[in-house]
Every structure is written in C-alpha cells, then in structure tokens.
Amino acid sequence: MHNFNQQRKSCISGRLVFHLILVFLYLALIACKIAVMNVKDWYKQGSGTVKWKGSLTEIYSSGGGIEEKSYAWLSNHYCGSYSSSCYYDCGNYEYYDSTVACSTFENLNGGGTAFIVFSSLEIVFVLAMIGFSIPAAHANKKYLCPVILFSILALVAGLVSFAVMAGTAMITFSDSCDETKSHLSSQASSCALTGPKFDLFNLLYIFTLNLIFWIYLCVLKGGDKKISQAQNANVSMTANVQTHQDQVQPPIHVFPLAVVGPHVPSDGIPIGIPYKDA
C-alpha cells in the first residue's frame, strides 16, 4: 500500500509539471499572436510609382502613386469619389484601374479586420483552455471536455484567420508582385512579407502544440486507468490476505472448569457442603 501511494504521488507530480510546461507554451503562443498583429511589414505590391508596402491595416510606404492611408480610407476613396479609369502616369502605364484599386483595398480592409477578429477569438479560446486545464491537472476529469473543446476552437479560429487574410489579400510567397505596372482587370496578388510568414509559423505552432496535448490526454487517460486497476488490485490483495489470516488463525478453545470434590479448609468445614450447627 505504501509503494502504491508513492507511485500515485509521483504520477500526479509528473502530470502537474507537464501541465505547467504546456501552459507556458500556450502563453508563448498568445504572445506570438499579439506580436504578429503588430508587425509592420505585411504586404508589398506594384513597381515604380505605384509600388507600395503595407501593414495589416494601412499603407506605410509608397512610390508616390498611392496615398499612404489606411485600407479603409483607400477603399472608400477608390470605390466612391474616385471615378477615373487610371491615376498618376497613365501614359507610362503605371496605374491602377479604379475598379481594381477598389476591390484590392476593399479586400485588404475586410481581410485585415477579419484577421484581427478571429485572432482575438483564438486568444480568448486559448486563455479559456488554460483556465480549465488547471483543475484538469489535478485529475478532475469533468474539466477535460472543455479543455479539448477550447483547444479545437482555438485551432479553428487560427485557421480561419489565416485563410481569410491569405484569400482576401491574394498573397504569394514569391517576390514577383509587380502586376500593377500593366493593365489589370482584377485584383493583383500581394507579396507576403513578415506578417503572413509569422502567422503561418503560429498556425503550425498551435497545430503541433494541440497534437502533443491531445496525445498527452490519451496517455493520461490510459495512466488513470492503470492507476485505478492497480488500486483495485491492491484492495483485492489486502482483502485476500485478511481472509487468509482468518483461515489460518488457530481457534481459541474454551475449556469447562473441572468438577472437583469439595475443598476442606483448615477449619475443617468443607466449602459448598451444607452443615448443621452443633
């Protein structure tokens, strides 16, 4: 029984240490997700005077042909009041068609907003998972289902945020994003800079971390089953030993008092025999 208790304490201690490591890794994931939303370099596009670089929400560097404004402002500008078929140096074919500019910045604005929303949801789900994992570390099984649920939701939110951002920006991981120099009939692709690459790393990070966590839960479940079986076996063995001791213990015989004759004390009157006075 003493060895069993020692093994159980050792198992629980190892479980707590591993949970602390996982919590630290998930907190690091949250820090990375916050950092990627604040990265300056996200996209670049065009060449010459219509070359620009932008963050998740705005253009911060331009060759002069595009205003250094937020994507929201640019989408309103080119989808609304701006009606010319081209801008800046149309004779040298360095231009955006207004329809192309409208769809480009409208998509970048919508994609950036969606990315921030789903990334924030991912952070909330990871924090909820960490909160439920603390009591789960103490072998409280009723908290395991919420932990698994929130880990899946966090992964889905991360996938959606990256997919929406990549789809709306039409990102490419090559360096050839100078399509804006020629006549375009649709949105041009954007070259991915640090932001999309960093977020792709985060996506692989949370997928790998969740995979390790799910495998750990399976091992944990198997370990709890073995502990339960060992505990039952220990109780059964204790009961068998007690039964065996009861069987081998020699019976205690109670012998009846021997019936003996009357005892005659020194005064000559036998004890237990009636007598008459002289």
The amino acid sitting at 225 is K
Confidence check: pLDDT of 4 > 50: no
pTM for the complete prediction? 0.69
At the top level of CATH, the class of 9-227 is mainly alpha
Task: Report the range out of 150-159, 181-190, 205-214, 238-247 with the highest average pLDDT.
Answer: 150-159
Q: What is the pLDDT of residues 41-83, one digit of tens each?
A: 999 887 777 788 999 999 998 877 778 899 999 888 888 755 4
Q: What is the pLDDT of residues 195-212, one digit of tens each?
A: 999 999 999 999 999 898
Q: Token pair of 99, please?
A: 């329809």
pLDDT of 243: 58
Q: What are phi and psi of 68, to 5 degrees?
A: -85, 80
Angle (CA) 139-123-113 rounded to 5° is 160
